[in-house]
Structure 1
Amino acid sequence: MQIVKASEFRLEREVDYGTAEQVAVVKRVVQDVRQNGDAGLLRYTEQFDKMVLTAEQLRVSEAEIQAAYQEVEPAFVTAIQEASANIRAFHEKQKRTSWMDVQSDGTLLGQIIKPLKRVGVYVPGGKAAYPSSVLMNVIPAQVAGVKEIVMVTPPATGGVAGIDPYIRVAAAEAGVKEMYRVGGAQAIAALAYGTDSIARVDKICGPGNIYVALAKREVYGTVDIDSMAGPSEIVVLADGSANAAYIAADLLSQAEHDEMASAVLVTSCPELAKRVQAEVISQLASLPRQAIAAQSIEQHGAIIVVEDLEQGVDFVNEMAPEHLEIMTEDPMEWLGRIENAGAIFIGPYSSEPVGDYFAGPNHIIPTNGTARFSSPVDVDMFLKKSSLIRYSKEALLQHGEKIMTIARHEGLEAHARAIEIRMKQEQFENKSQG
């Protein structure tokens, strides 16, 4: 992990949109499932996941979901239950309600807020299982009021059940009633277009590999999607008071995600920079995912030495990181100056994994600098809004001429006449009655 001066650092981001071959494969799979439904879905499950299933075996039964409790340790169940409660409590505070505003002239304006009807949640499976992803996608949708939440996850090779028991427990705790053992681009296509076994959804959310990401992009417009997520990233802003061991551990917590993950320290203290560099080397030696973390640190990690914390904050805002930790003597002093960050962790005990798993805020956060203009997953993502307009006769007569002026300026005469015909009719009736 190299130490560089601020003047020498160049921010470079790689956005993986897949190879031409990967894009072609995804297009073929999506089109096949769209046209052939379950037949295509089962064919690709056999080809990619090495599992031969019938249409009747796609859905995971309630008994299979509940049986998972016998396959996991009680401590995990307790942890998931408490994490679920924290996540639900946090997202409950985001709930919104419809509103109406009646004005003195009888005009009624408002907004009707309703949940989406049906949402599809993709949960990675196979070699990697992330039960926390279940909670972070399902619970906000539930809080929003979504009635139908369907979960898809790839079957692990070997055995008909093929679903990691920890994922099944998380699903049960989150209240998932509809789950299918299918993954990859074929699962995204099934959610988007529907098959005989899986009804189509209104929105697809949840992380996945490059094929899943490309499939989400392919079906966007037919359904909504959450985002095109990039590699995980963390930036730590620190001064000389920070604990080097804590910082190194947190940098490595993101580096172990995958080789493309980014871990950056921004500090005003050269001595801290050296201590963190040594700690990263020391801690890396005993990591089970050492090879992955080492490549991430080597290729996408950096320790940036700035002249002062003001310059450090400027760097942070330019990078717009997914995760930002502030480890300074008075972290609240700098909080108000942060403009771009997906999630902000304050102080030495707010380690990034606290947010990943337990605290309550959502851990699905904008990456690749998109925190400049986007936000973590929240309840709003599962809501749709309708504007409400009821104009009174008095309001139309008062403002009709202005509406027609704008319409005719835009060359839309029919728009103007739609107002004019009403105004003439009302004016005629008023004269007749007078």
Structure 2
Amino acid sequence: MMSTIDLRGRALGARELRRLLPRAEFDVAAAVETVRPICLDVQHRGAQALYELGERFDGVRPPSLRVPATVLSAALAALDPQVRAALEESVRRARLVHEEQRRSTVTTTVVPGGEVTERWVPVDRVGLYVPGGRAVYPSSVVMNVVPAQIAGVGSLAVASPPQRENSGVFAGYPHPTILAACELLGVDEVYAVGGAQAVAAFAYGFDDASTGSTVVCEPVSLVTGPGNIYVAAAKRFLKGVIGIDAEAGPTEIAILADDTADPAHVSADLVSQAEHDPQAASVLVTSSQALAEAVATDLEHRVASTKHADRVRQALSGRQSGVVLVDDLDAGLAVVNAYAAEHLELQVADAPAVSDRVRNAGAIFVGPHSPVSLGDYVAGSNHVLPTGGCACHSSGLSVQTFLRGVHVVSYTRQALEEVAGHVVALAQAEDLPAHGEAVQVRFAHEAAQVPAVDEV
């Protein structure tokens, strides 16, 4: 069901490889025109627009935009104990890894009396988006909240779409498991808002007096978290009003495998990502024709027996998925570096050594016992990763996402005087004389006090 691209016997550069390799169609620019009126509606009408958009796109009007504290606590109380234990372990491991990403203040003495200090300052307020379409993602709550908390963000808000299937106390609110994850992590500001309108709500803020007491959602400085194409388009449209982490596209997995790989492992991992979405990309890169054939055989029965068979089959047979045949490991590495996958598995001999040669990937999963599913939940790594080839220039979500580096410059009079001539020379070279004068004026008074030689 997966198409085959045979690159054997062809020496191709990155440009040709990127043209030939499978990739999902994801036209964010076109979607911007769809979300533009939605975002502007939220900007101008606030809560009223958000209620109406919830009914229009999610099929339900939430009882209130902000989820009450009693509903959050009820969600955690009702959470399956096994799911709670899994979430707690996910949080524990994520904190272990992300704690090591803390940045320290560093002061560099450039010259005696001249210092530059770099301070890392957390973003004041962040909006975290958690999708809720075909699947429920409490793990995304963990992946967004943990690094933000460790970074020291003082104000966190979560938005997730209201679910029309919910009943009882949860009717019209996000999925209870998402609410439980928020409560578990101590996030008490949660909104029943999804899609592009959630990004706009975070960007502009709003007040909601429809329930009798006014609830104010203050605007945020940064929005993070994955979503569909309309969430990505809203991020692009509002970038500048807010900072964003990335424009996340459909999930993708690339597996670089040789004849040492177990076909069942490869097949299962391809299916695991394909079940996310019909546009999800699953790509196998291999120099082994025998492995490719064995994987194809395994996929036939594995896809037929999986819960979301139709979705998986559509993803695997789409233009974004395929098997890429290469001559050898070197050629395979050239392919995966050009592809720059969100998730890259290495199921090859001496996988740890091969991982050192990978330049472009959101996350690398080394060896037969490090499947992407592990990283999705409890490896300790972050699963919010760059897609669509963006891993060649962008990183996944981390503590650094929520920090800003601020340079603090401190020079004494003597240290400035020593370098004043260089400042003036560069200012004149750039035809910005006032830049030089801003330095010279600091020494003009002293120069005026020194008598000329012929006056002595």
TM-score for both structures, normalised by structure 1: 0.94
AA partner of residue 17 (structure 1): D
Question: 1:170 Cα deviation (Å)?
Answer: 1.3
**Is the alpha carbon distance of 1:50 and 1:264 closer, same or farther for their aligned partners in structure 2, counting shifts above 3 Å?**
closer
CA contact (8 A) 2:60 2:172 kept: no
Q: Distance in 2 between matches of 1:135 and 1:431?
A: 70
- Tell me what 2:23 maps to: 13
2:291 is aligned to 272
| Pairwise CA distance, 1:104 | 4.9
C-alpha displacement of 1:116: 0.8
- What corresponds to 1:178 in structure 2? 189
Q: Which residue of 1 aligns with 2:418?
A: 398
**CA drift at 1:18:** 4.6
Between the aligned partners of 1:88 and 1:147, the Cα distance in structure 2 is: 17
Give the letter for the 2:332 counterpart.
G
3-state secondary structure, aligned to 1:304: strand
CA distance in 2, matches of 1:12, 1:351: 21
Contact 1:107–1:392 (Cα < 8 Å) also in 2: yes
Distance 2:138 2:79 in 1: 12
Aligned to 2:364: 344
What residue identity is the alignment partner of 1:72?
L
Contact 1:396 1:423 (C-alpha < 8 Å) held by counterparts:
no
Deviation at 1:127, TM superposition (A): 4.7
Higher mean displacement: 172-181 or 148-157: 172-181
Equivalent position to 2:97, from 90, 94, 98:
90
The aligned counterpart of 1:201 is: 220
Gaps of 5+ in 1: none
Over residues 291-341 of structure 1, what are the superposed CA-to-partner deviations in whole Å (9 max), with x where a residue is unaligned? 111111112222222211111111111111111111112112212211111
Identity percentage of aligned residues: 39
Secondary structure in 2 matching 1:322: strand
For 1:380, the aligned partner's letter is Q
Q: Which runs of 5+ in 2 are unaligned?
A: 11-16, 208-215
Report matched runs for 1:116-195 at 5 Å. Answer: 116-125=123-132, 127-157=134-164, 159=167, 160-195=171-206
Is the contact between residue 126 and residue 156 of structure 2 (CA under 8 Å) also seen in structure 1?
yes
**Structure 2 counterpart of 1:382:** 402
Deviation at 1:45? Answer: 2.2
Q: 1:31 aligns with which of 40, 55, 68?
A: 40
User: How many residue pairs align between the two structures?
Assistant: 430
Cα RMSD after superposing both structures: 2.0
Match in the other structure for 2:266? 247
Displacement of 1:46: 2.8
| Equivalent-residue separation in structure 2 for 1:243 and 1:430 (angstroms) | 84
TM-score between both structures, scaled by the size of structure 2: 0.90
Indicate conservation of the 8 Å contact 2:76/2:183, yes or no.
no
- Residue 34 of structure 1 and its aligned partner are, at CA, apart by 0.9
Give the superposition deviation at 1:12. Answer: 4.3
Deviations 1:183-231 (A, max 9, x none): 1222211100111231100101111222222111111101101111111
Distance 1:237 1:53 in 2: 45
Shift of 1:163: 2.1
* Alpha-carbon contact 1:235-1:323 (below 8 Å) kept: yes
Given candidates 42, 54, 57, the residue that maps to 1:45 is: 54
Kindly state the Cα deviation for residue 69 of structure 1 after the two structures are TM-superposed.
2.9
CA positional deviation for 1:98: 1.7
Distance 2:172 2:3 in 1: 46
Tell me, in whole angstroms, the C-alpha distance in 2 between the residues paired with 1:25 and 1:241: 48
Q: How far apart, in 2, do the equivalents of 1:347 and 1:106 lie?
A: 52
Structure 2: which amino acid aligns with 1:292?
R
AA in 1 matched with 2:287: S
Residue 425 of structure 1: aligned partner: 445
Q: Deviations over 1:47-81 (max 9, x none)?
A: 32333356xx2211222111113433211000000
2:343 and 2:290 map into 1 onto residues whose CA distance is 24
